[in-house]
Structure 1
């Protein structure tokens, strides 16, 4: 008795059938105006049921490749006029998605659509709500999306449906007031990355999910040689790094009925701030290094000058050609495992005059084909959770615990859980830098936080989350 294919196997068969017919139309095997073979012939050719063949043909109708003619069959549609889409993004997707090669796959599937990538900075044109955005599709990090939502700029994005194949914790990063605006493409927890050879040479056990910050510091001191190698370092000012400590406090900023910030003296929030200070001022473990970005820290890590750092799966793309033997582990914790979740998503701009084609691009980026390309050719984690397994290596070094993210999805948190806007968080970070540098003491920190957060916040652009990754 023939076994029914699994859902994943059926999806693969369906995509293969649809892609084969698309390719044959492109190559001229089925010229415009000609009819496709009968459904009975297609059933025999692809070894699929009548119902499955009809599902595939319906998809080709929706994509505009063929048109159904009553009582005659499926006719190849006339050639389409060329369409050009404008995709807005910053520089990071070029590396973290292998974007140009990924778009090559889209163009093969939809040869009449050309995608022009415009690399820009900041909020990618979200500056003035009075003016339309010159583009069709935009890629935003979850940090940028939160910033746009806080500034009322989600009006520039088309609403979209939630994709059930995407991890729900990741979908939530692009939901605002119960409305989905973007489709997540990749995501990552902020995690610990470490040099395996350093641990092996020192005879130390490698990090695991049970580590607290005291465990990290103890090992970091043992890994340091006091001269050219330190056990631990991260880019302190980065908005995707230091807030993790506050999130691990399991508390948030609160105000009384008069709008005054509740005192954080003696709170778990203050304790988490103190723990971060103890780490970065520990000269036996943490270097006195004025990093300008995460790239500076990554460079030190690749050169073997740092044994452990905080990173993301996206940032691991910068290590692909390093030849370094490294691995990853969950973030050390204070009371329970908590870390920051970050993502990159794609959305259709409301002012686009090519919304149908723009939606095709977003759909492709989250399709099995697009997501499998990302998984095979980068270190980034696809947002779709039901890709066929096992993953291909793509010829790259992959850490033995590369799939660790699956085990810690419940630990993902967002900046918003601290109960302050990104603008306010930026101001908090500036005060904390003074405290961590011993320029102000705890009493002054708490007083200035109370004063600053009890007043209406000045509207300004939130600080970027480093180079995102």
Structure 2
């Protein structure tokens, strides 16, 4: 067992074991009739007692995923073929942690034993292939974020999705984002998050610095970052600026929109947007190692190890800090004078021609029910789309930052990348060009020439 796991409590380690087995069974990695390793083997692997392992396996027995055969072992359960319907759910792999989706699927199965859910992991930024997954019968329900949805509409695939009933219990602004111009809700909101600042409180206390607040502008962050950084020990600030879920933030805060020439192509030279891009580049050089070589969850892992004092992240990625002994809190992201933040929105769509559409709709209704949404609120750091669940107040089951509910006050500040005047295809294409510019591999003149002179930005 690695050092990271050795710092976890026995309860957390047991949860890791149960969640992993549940995931492997639901995703077909452990098939019906297969026997699990012994309780003793699990106990040694996860540094648990045999009794703790036994209690954990009992949870999976109660969910109908395994059965214990006296003096033989523990067997993965399967039902006779044809005794249930199977709904194939395409999901972002990150949501196994962001929404504990596999435990939710187990709860769904307990309430609907005649419906099995086959979890199909999806990968990649482009959702063009989802057309073939739907029409080929590979998926009945597909998870989409806002970028995925916009991309799907741009390639005229909206008619593949079943219009859904608008749920008044979900935040209206989330439903608005997944509603077409002809007032069809094609994706039901599931979880969401604005970009936020996350920081190590003890680092601020040790440096005798006041903690971040809503008045912070980017210059405040830069100044505090320089004071918090310790050469060869830790960074003051870290984030993945190159991510399409990050870099639009500064441009939105600058109040600029991509302008168009008469031919419809993006115009950049001499525009406020070019000024905003230039500022983004300058800020990157003001904070060394802002985004070089960043992988998913790296900023959060650095924060957990005490190697960075502040990160820009989301409620989704706070889940990388679950189980860590870290005195962290959150604050609104810094701004340029007008507080704005980028909103990330993930929902569930149903394939219109699914052979099991009724069961698929039932799954979406369950995942957006108060029961499931409250489960997300209580067991993760993600924000459920259902208002009463997101704003639930009660006895917490895990560490919760003191300013967790700040999202409620910052809702008027939420924006999407489309507020920049670009579509999902242009977002992806600009992302490639801007990486070169921000890395110093392309100057301003060549950036403008590449964007303005290429028909791909028309």
TM-score w.r.t. length of structure 1: 0.75
Aligned twin of 1:296: 298
Cα distance in structure 2, aligned partners of 1:420 and 1:201: 44
Is the contact made by 2:256 and 2:276 (CA closer than 8 Å) also made in structure 1? no
Cα deviation 1:82-113 (Å, max 9, x = unaligned): 32211111211211111121112212222222
Aligned twin of 1:308: 310
Is the contact made by 1:376 and 1:393 (CA closer than 8 Å) also made in structure 2? no
Are 1:214 and 2:219 matched, yes or no? yes
Cα distance in structure 2, aligned partners of 1:168 and 1:191: 21
Is the contact made by 1:137 and 1:348 (CA closer than 8 Å) also made in structure 2? yes
Cα deviation 1:287-336 (Å, max 9, x = unaligned): 26632423222222221111111111010111102211111111111131
Deviation of 1:186 (Å): 0.6
Aligned twin of 2:450: 448
Aligned twin of 1:407: 409
Structure 2 CA distance for partners of 1:299 and 1:268, relative to 1, 3 Å: same
What secondary structure, in the 3-state scheme, does the structure 1 residue paired with 2:388 have?
coil
Cα distance in structure 2, aligned partners of 1:263 and 1:457: 11
Aligned twin of 1:323: 325
Give 1:110's match in structure 2, choosing from 109, 112, 131. Answer: 112
Cα distance in structure 2, aligned partners of 1:143 and 1:396: 31
Cα distance in structure 2, aligned partners of 1:150 and 1:448: 23
Give 1:151's match in structure 2, choosing from 144, 148, 155. Answer: 155
Is the contact made by 2:178 and 2:186 (CA closer than 8 Å) also made in structure 1? yes
Gaps of 5+ in 1: 1-79, 459-469
Structure 2 CA distance for partners of 1:288 and 1:320, relative to 1, 3 Å: closer
Deviation of 1:387 (Å): 3.3
Cα distance in structure 1, aligned partners of 2:224 and 2:189: 36
Cα distance in structure 2, aligned partners of 1:399 and 1:360: 34
Give 2:280's match in structure 1, choosing from 276, 280, 283. Answer: 276
Give 1:395's match in structure 2, choosing from 387, 394, 397. Answer: 397
What secondary structure, in the 3-state scheme, does the structure 2 residue paired with 1:176 have?
coil
Cα distance in structure 2, aligned partners of 1:271 and 1:83: 56
Deviation of 1:261 (Å): 3.4
Structure 2 CA distance for partners of 1:310 and 1:288, relative to 1, 3 Å: closer
Cα distance in structure 2, aligned partners of 1:271 and 1:210: 23
The alignment yields a C-alpha RMSD, in angstroms, of 2.3
Aligned twin of 2:3: none
Is the contact made by 1:126 and 1:133 (CA closer than 8 Å) also made in structure 2? no
Cα distance in structure 2, aligned partners of 1:405 and 1:323: 24
What secondary structure, in the 3-state scheme, does the structure 1 residue paired with 2:389 have?
coil
Gaps of 5+ in 2: 1-81
Structural mapping, 1:44-83, within 5 Å: 82-83=84-85
Cα distance in structure 2, aligned partners of 1:101 and 1:207: 35
Structural mapping, 1:232-243, within 5 Å: 232-243=237-248
Cα distance in structure 1, aligned partners of 2:297 and 2:215: 28
TM-score w.r.t. length of structure 2: 0.77
Aligned twin of 1:195: 200
Give 1:163's match in structure 2, choosing from 167, 186, 191. Answer: 167
Aligned twin of 2:188: 183
Is the contact made by 2:266 and 2:457 (CA closer than 8 Å) also made in structure 1? no
Aligned twin of 1:136: 140
Greater Cα radius of gyration, structure 1 or 2: 1
Structure 2 CA distance for partners of 1:137 and 1:427, relative to 1, 3 Å: closer
Aligned twin of 2:371: 369
Is the contact made by 1:169 and 1:412 (CA closer than 8 Å) also made in structure 2? no
